[in-house]
């Protein structure tokens, strides 16, 4: 069992910063841009408090969580003109409630299949390119 202090989203800022760029806080989640942009616009929302499973939340809390997920999905779709948004909630080895929100484009990388958590090789952007996609997403929130 990973302690809250060791949790990527609660206490491991150095590792979190190596994987993601914080964008903003929403109603009950924090929104991050994945540094690997193989899927252009790929983000993660993480529950603000330490929770492991969706069923641990009250009905009201889970409704707000889903609203945040929908808000981000639509913002990403508008920002990158995605044909499909994939949502991934796995957390087998990372016990914190979070969702990968992954845009896909027809004839683009991985379209028609399950998105790859860690693409090989990863696609990293320049600092300016990260700023551009973050601003596009923020404009559509």
Nearest partner of 117 among 93, 81, 82, 141, judged by Cα: 93
Spans of all domains in the chain: 13-139
Place of tokens 């090989």: 120
Q: Assess whether pLDDT exceeds 90 at residue 119.
A: no
Residue 114 is predicted with a pLDDT of: 86
Nearest partner of 124 among 48, 15, 33, judged by Cα: 33
Least confident of 54-63, 106-115, 119-128: 106-115
Mean pLDDT confidence for 123-137: 98
Q: Say whether 86 sits in a helix, a strand or coil.
A: strand
What is the gyration radius of the CA atoms in the chain, in angstroms? 15
CATH of 13-139, one of 3.30.428.10, 1.10.238.10, 3.30.450.20, 2.40.10.10: 3.30.428.10
Q: Assess whether pLDDT exceeds 70 at residue 62.
A: yes
**For residue range 71-116, what is the model confidence (pLDDT) as tens digits?**
999 999 999 999 999 999 987 888 899 999 999 999 999 999 888 8
Rounded CA gap, 51 and 35, in Å?
24
pTM of the entire predicted model: 0.94
CB contact set of 49 (below 8 Å; sequence gap of 6+)? none
């Amino acid at each position: 069992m990973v302690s809250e202090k060791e949790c990527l989203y609660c206490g491991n800022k150095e590792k979190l910063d190596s994987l993601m760029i914080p964008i903003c806080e929403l109603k009950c989640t924090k929104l991050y841009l994945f540094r690997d942009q193989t899927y252009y616009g790929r983000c993660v929302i993480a529950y603000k408090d330490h929770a492991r499973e969706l069923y641990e939340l009250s009905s009201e809390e889970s409704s707000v969580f889903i609203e945040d997920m929908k808000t981000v999905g639509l913002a990403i779709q508008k920002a990158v003109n995605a044909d499909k948004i994939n949502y991934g909630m796995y957390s087998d080895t990372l016990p914190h409630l979070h969702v990968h929100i992954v845009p896909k484009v027809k004839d683009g990388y991985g379209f028609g299949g399950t998105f790859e958590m860690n693409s090989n090789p990863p696609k990293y952007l320049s600092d300016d390119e990260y700023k551009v996609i973050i601003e596009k997403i923020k404009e559509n929130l």
